[in-house]
Amino acid sequence: MTTNFEYKKILLTGGSGMVGRNFIENKKSKNYILISPTRKELNLLNYEKVNSFILKTKPDLIVHAAGRVGGIQANIREPFLFLKENADMGRNIILAAKNQNIKNLINLSSSCVYPKNLDIPLKEDFILTGPLEPTNEGYAIAKIFVQKLCTFINKENIDFNYKTLIPCNLFGKYDDFNLNSGHLIPNIIKKIHDAKLNKKNKVTIWGDGSVRREFMYVNDLIDFLYYSFENFKKMPEVINVGLGKDCSVLDYYKIVAKCFDWKGTFEFDLSKPVGQKQKLVSLIRLKNFGWSNKISIEKGISETIKYYLESNENVS
């Protein structure tokens, strides 16, 4: 492939998170020099430290993948921290990049930025056209704020290319399997595996299982990121990254149960919040950009279960 990406030194924030660790582990070319400071090395909540770090390292491109993330329980429990920390981290990295004249940046957002109860699929132009889903409003507002910083910088500075990716829900290696903070698929993996270990024949699902979600294996997003480096100039300013298809929550439980060969049944707790009924992103811009995912949900879940079993001492 002929590259129009002329930059080699990449600063990655969030290198200890799921996206960051997989990004580093699946480096596509020896020509890329990756700079990925730990939290001890760089406090993203401190603007002066961020500005000094960028001044010192002078990256050609910044990939902002850091953030406070979590599932529905964590978002409901701590909306203040989800809003404040994600807004502060995004603001600091983007304003410091602008201040140091770093002209190329990729900002990772989330499909949580889309208003609730919109027509499906969700197009990039739908952002800020209606009220947000209350269960993750703090996180969504922070992500919209950071996206708009990028947009306004581009608008006022013609040589700047600050681009925002809106991935669908992600899962995979290095995911969070804590039931109090993790997302849907790692939670399902832990719940069903615990049930199998403890010889339980029932697992509880929040809601009636009909809510639909689009999930993508994290390695697909990593593939997209490296593809975007090679095609950076033509990448849209805001672009969804997803599969273009979704499954019900119950479907995901059934897939995981099959992987574990667990023969139990499901019960439904209708008192629990479930979020939006559906969040399926439009892939029109993504297809025009020339990329599509390669890993099936079933394969991704199987690989994630393999990682979970191999990396936890107390599971077998």
**pLDDT given at position 180:** 87
> What is residue 181's predicted lDDT score, i.e. its pLDDT?
87
User: What averages of pLDDT result for each successive group of 10 residues across the chain (316 residues)?
Assistant: 62 96 90 93 98 97 94 90 98 98 98 94 97 95 98 97 97 94 94 97 97 97 96 96 97 98 97 90 98 97 97 64
**Residues taking part in catalysis:** 139
pTM of the model: 0.94
The string of pLDDT tens digits covering residues 127-164 is: 999 999 999 999 999 999 999 999 999 999 999 999 99
Residue in the block written with tokens 């919209």:
144
Residue 150's pLDDT is: 98
Q: What is the rounded distance in angstroms from the CA atom of residue 260 to the CA atom of residue 257? A: 5
DSSP tag of 312: -
Contact by Cβ (8 Å): 115, 130: yes
pLDDT of 4 = 47
> Between the CA of residue 179 and those of 13, 73, 103, 191, 300, what are the distances in Å?
25, 9, 40, 8, 20
State the pLDDT at residue 30. 78
pLDDT at res. 83: 98
Which residue stretches of 180-296 are H helix?
184-197, 218-230, 249-260, 284-289
Helix and strand element counts for the chain (H, E): 10, 13
Separation of first and last alpha carbons in the chain: 43
CA distance 316 to 59: 43
